[in-house]
Chains A and B, each alone.
Chain A
Amino acid sequence: MTIASDDPRVAAAAAPPPAPPPGPPVRRRRRLTRNRWGYAYVAPFFVLFACFSLYPFLYTAWISLHEVRLSDIDGAEFVGLGNYTALLQNEFFWNAARNTLTIGVLSTVPQLAMALGLAHLLNYKLRGRTFYRVAMLMPYATSIAAATLVFAQLFGHDYGLINTLLEAVGFDRVDWESGTWTSQFAISVIVTWRWTGYNALIYLAAMQAIPGDLYEAATLDGASRWQQFLHVTIPALKPTILFTIVVSTIGAVQLFGEPLLFSGNGMTSGGVSNQYQTLGLLMYDQGWTNFHLGQAAATAWAMFLIILVVVGGYALLARRRARAER
């Protein structure tokens, strides 16, 4: 964005002071009062952020250092990093971490690949383009609860549509919910269904920003459509792809609503043998079924650290590749 403005405020903020001012505090105060509307405008966000994000964030960290039950919240006992060491030795934590990883891979990879393909198709001049674009965003606009309840019905063992279809073409009924892979596959389908369109639209927006002459040049050089996609579109989309990978990864680590509602009876264990218990669900199970607030808080922080590490890893990777290409 270029700012072409002779608004003194913009100029004051952007340009270095032309001459050393005699009294800097006066100047700063003037700038503060001049910008007071700016601060007033951003204040609601920061007030809400402080109340509903920053405070809970810090309080969760504090709670995670205690052994505390909801019934006896005043009887909290300081245990230092005890909850974290217990977590590392807890087979339920590792099980949930494994499930989160497999569901994450099962949902994110096909999701982004399909989104890229869809965006590429929608980038052509199609009849009814707007309709397709709106239709793609519909799953994203559906609430997780509604989508999951419908999918849980579809994947039902005895009366589910999917099993009825499987049976009609000669296959056996699949007990989607009780199997480890089948349940994780079913949950991945819900996630993929919900997020593919959203990512496709982001890709589409980025594709439309690619200058047309690049394609023209490629065509002149005799590149086929597929080669254009590989050698023009994908490289140009790299930053966007990284962004969607980061966002999808964060979403995958936090996956919660789908596995909670998939069982259909509100159980927080993620299936009778925890076969689809994700980290988010484990945290809820510890906090709101078992009422071990300290453990749940430690799990929450562990999830946060996992996200930081993974996203940091992506960033490093991206930077190293960018440097290698230069």
Chain B
Amino acid sequence: MTVPPRRRAALGAALVATLMAAGCGGSGSDDGTITLDLGLFGTFGFEEAGLYDEYMEMHPEIRIQEESVERSADYYRALQTRLAAGSGLADIQGIEIGFVADVVANHADAFVDFAARDNADEILGHYYDWKVEGSTTADGRVVGLGTDAGPEAMCFRRDLFEQAGLPTDRAELAQLWSTWEGYLELGRQYEASPTKPEGSAFLDSPASVFSAAVYQGQTAYDDEDGNPIPESSDGVATAWQHASAAAGEGMTANLIQFGDEWNSAFANGAFATISCPAWMLGYITGQAGDEGEGRWDVAPLPGGAGNWGGSWLGVTESSEHKEEAIALVEWLTAPEQQVRMFTEEQHFPSSQQAAEDPEVATATSEYFSGAPVGQIFGSSAAALRFTPIGPYDTQIQEAFTNALSTVAEGTGPDDAFQAALDEIEQVVGG
């Protein structure tokens, strides 16, 4: 294509002008309203549950704008860049468990300290202790208020279990897989069953065992001070032992979690169990569709309580409307709203008060064969204790789960463990 030079110059000038205009955008409030920006990731579900509309009705002077990035990893990249540059932050930023330790250790100053608020007891008192500990710095600052939590259970396919001749009663299964050894034993039975559906595996991925079991140890990936100790942690050692057994014995479908094949596998019955934090129920419902109704069920997690995921909302110090933002965060995370987030969006409360509310505690799920999900996830949440977390947990976990996939493909467990440690060295080493 040839553009006449004069035209080309005009195009160039227009481009420069556009870039400059884009660089200095600002939110003006000429009609007296205050716009609060929320920078979030994934599906927090406030909008879907109608909480923004309700809040704006109660406070006509407030307008709420949410900007959401699908993957939390992408969100975190952008957040880190903005924190480093000290500009471009929203009034309210979502903080996920995967990077809360980094925020607590390195960026606490950029966020409002909720522990220093006059009503600190009221806004922090209704939480599970482990939730508040996760967002507390060494010197006692609290960088965010908890939204949901990810207490874990084990989801299973009743129909596949039945075909393979395994028990389908929740209470009986809870007994049989009270330990991971028991769970693996059931897996061996499933794989050996001549009547199990062809092409189905006992579990989706070794990551299902590993990322659940690792937080059941005294330590997971880090010591008390948040320093990575992947080689000496008891949580890693037990989780690796069970997960590599599952992988090596070929009872996993060896799918990469959150990959395309994994997504399709929900509807296709490629696996019979998956460890599921409360938020995964919504994910399963979405992937398996209407046909999955009544086929899935939920039982307690092997090996005791576990947690996967959960978030906080922080208010940035750079916000021009700090007080209004704090008020909104307090309201969104208050027990009443957490109850609603569970009943409407299946986000389990990190507020103990909300979790003990009858509406949550006695909730059952029609889709999951009438399982008492409120009670199952509630007792998991109540039994949790705080496991130290560190800034590199996400990368360390990915290194281990990647290595487990290679075990399922035939690599020896010891070689794979060493490969994971090498990969981790890339992250934590200088």
Chain A contact residues, CB within 8 Å of chain B: 40-41, 43-45, 47-48, 67, 70-73, 90-92, 152-153, 156-159, 175, 178, 263-267, 269, 272-273, 286, 288-292
Q: Which residues of B contact A157 (CB under 8 A)?
A: 261
Question: How far in angstroms is the closest Cβ of chain B from A44?
Answer: 3
Known: A152-B260, A158-B261, A265-B259. 9 other contacts (CB 8 A): A41-B9, A44-B9, A44-B13, A67-B430, A158-B264, A266-B73, A269-B402, A272-B403, A289-B395
Q: How far does the alpha carbon of A35 sit from the alpha carbon of B402 in the complex, in Å?
A: 61
Q: Is the CB of A290 within 8 A of B73?
A: no
Q: Is the CB of B256 within 8 A of A290?
A: no
Q: Is the CB of A289 within 8 A of B73?
A: yes
Question: How far in angstroms is the closest Cβ of chain B from A41?
Answer: 4
Residue of A nearest to B262 (CB): A265
Q: Is the CB of B261 within 8 A of A159?
A: yes
Q: Is the CB of A273 within 8 A of B259?
A: no
Q: How far does the alpha carbon of A47 sit from the alpha carbon of B19 in the complex, in Å?
A: 12
Question: Top 10 nearest A-B pairs by Cβ distance?
Answer: A44-B12, A265-B259, A272-B402, A41-B9, A272-B405, A264-B260, A73-B84, A71-B106, A264-B259, A290-B427
Q: How far does the alpha carbon of A44 sit from the alpha carbon of B14 in the complex, in Å?
A: 9
Residue of B nearest to A90 (CB): B426
Q: Is the CB of B264 within 8 A of A159?
A: yes
Q: Is the CB of A178 within 8 A of B409?
A: yes
Question: How far in angstroms is the closest Cβ of chain A from B18?
Answer: 11
Question: How far in angstroms is the closest Cβ of chain A from B258?
Answer: 5
Q: Is the CB of B423 within 8 A of A178?
A: no
Partner among B257, B270, B422, B426 whose Cβ is within 8 Å of the Cβ of A265: B257
Q: Is the CB of A265 within 8 A of B256?
A: yes
Residue of B nearest to A92 (CB): B426
Chain B contact residues, CB within 8 Å of chain A: 5-6, 8-9, 12-13, 15-16, 19, 71, 73-74, 77, 80-81, 83-84, 102, 105-107, 256-262, 264-265, 268, 270, 391, 395, 398, 402-403, 405-406, 409, 411, 419, 422-423, 426-427, 430
The answer to whether A273 and B419 touch (CB under 8 A), given A70-B80, A289-B73, is: yes
A-B contact pairs, 15 of them (CB 8 A): A40-B9, A41-B5, A44-B12, A48-B12, A48-B16, A71-B84, A152-B260, A159-B268, A264-B256, A264-B259, A264-B260, A265-B257, A272-B405, A290-B426, A290-B427
Q: Is the CB of B259 within 8 A of A45?
A: no
Q: How far does the alpha carbon of A290 sit from the alpha carbon of B427 in the complex, in Å?
A: 5
Residue of B nearest to A286 (CB): B426
Q: How far does the alpha carbon of A291 sit from the alpha carbon of B426 in the complex, in Å?
A: 10
Q: Which residues of A contact B107 (CB under 8 A)?
A: 71
Q: Which residues of A contact B398 (CB under 8 A)?
A: 267, 269
Most central of A44, A47, A73 by chain B CB within 10 Å: A44
Question: How far in angstroms is the closest Cβ of chain B from A134?
Answer: 14
Interface of B is mostly: helix
Question: How far in angstroms is the closest Cβ of chain A from B240?
Answer: 15
Q: Is the CB of A288 within 8 A of B15?
A: no
Q: How far does the alpha carbon of A290 sit from the alpha carbon of B392 in the complex, in Å?
A: 8
The answer to whether A269 and B13 touch (CB under 8 A), given A71-B80, A264-B261, is: no
Residue of A nearest to B407 (CB): A272
Q: How far does the alpha carbon of A267 sit from the alpha carbon of B398 in the complex, in Å?
A: 9
Residue of B nearest to A47 (CB): B16
Question: How far in angstroms is the closest Cβ of chain A from B406?
Answer: 5
Q: Which residues of B contact A264 (CB under 8 A)?
A: 256, 259-261
Residue of A nearest to B428 (CB): A290
Q: Which residues of A contact B77 (CB under 8 A)?
A: 288
Q: Which residues of A contact B80 (CB under 8 A)?
A: 70-71, 291
Q: Is the CB of A178 within 8 A of B268?
A: no
Q: Which residues of A contact B409 (CB under 8 A)?
A: 175, 178
Residue of B nearest to A294 (CB): B430
Q: How far does the alpha carbon of A48 sit from the alpha carbon of B270 in the complex, in Å?
A: 52
Q: How far does the alpha carbon of A40 sit from the alpha carbon of B16 in the complex, in Å?
A: 13
Q: Is the CB of A158 within 8 A of B257?
A: no
Question: How far in angstroms is the closest Cβ of chain B from A10?
Answer: 14
Q: Is the CB of B403 within 8 A of A153?
A: no
Q: How far does the alpha carbon of A272 sit from the alpha carbon of B410 in the complex, in Å?
A: 13
Q: How far does the alpha carbon of A113 sit from the alpha carbon of B16 in the complex, in Å?
A: 41
Question: How far in angstroms is the closest Cβ of chain A from B93?
Answer: 15
Question: How far in angstroms is the closest Cβ of chain B from A146?
Answer: 14
Question: How far in angstroms is the closest Cβ of chain B from A243?
Answer: 19
Q: Is the CB of B426 within 8 A of A158?
A: no
Q: How far does the alpha carbon of A153 sit from the alpha carbon of B263 in the complex, in Å?
A: 12
Q: Is the CB of A263 within 8 A of B259?
A: yes
Q: How far does the alpha carbon of A266 sit from the alpha carbon of B262 in the complex, in Å?
A: 13
Q: How far does the alpha carbon of A41 sit from the alpha carbon of B16 in the complex, in Å?
A: 12
Q: How far does the alpha carbon of A272 sit from the alpha carbon of B205 in the complex, in Å?
A: 13
Q: Is the CB of A91 within 8 A of B422?
A: yes
Q: How far does the alpha carbon of A123 sit from the alpha carbon of B402 in the complex, in Å?
A: 49
Q: Which residues of B contact A72 (CB under 8 A)?
A: 106
Q: How far does the alpha carbon of A66 sit from the alpha carbon of B274 in the complex, in Å?
A: 44
Q: Which residues of A contact B264 (CB under 8 A)?
A: 158-159
Most central of A48, A178, A291, A292 by chain B CB within 10 Å: A291
Question: How far in angstroms is the closest Cβ of chain A from B312?
Answer: 17
Q: How far does the alpha carbon of A36 sit from the alpha carbon of B176 in the complex, in Å?
A: 84
Question: How far in angstroms is the closest Cβ of chain A from B219?
Answer: 22
Partner among A45, A70, A92 whose Cβ is within 8 Å of the Cβ of B81: A70
Residue of B nearest to A178 (CB): B409
Q: Is the CB of B84 within 8 A of A158?
A: no
Q: Is the CB of B268 within 8 A of A158?
A: yes
Q: How far does the alpha carbon of A286 sit from the alpha carbon of B428 in the complex, in Å?
A: 11
Question: How far in angstroms is the closest Cβ of chain A from B8?
Answer: 7
Q: How far does the alpha carbon of A71 sit from the alpha carbon of B13 in the complex, in Å?
A: 36
Q: Is the CB of A71 within 8 A of B419?
A: no
Q: How far does the alpha carbon of A263 sit from the alpha carbon of B398 in the complex, in Å?
A: 14
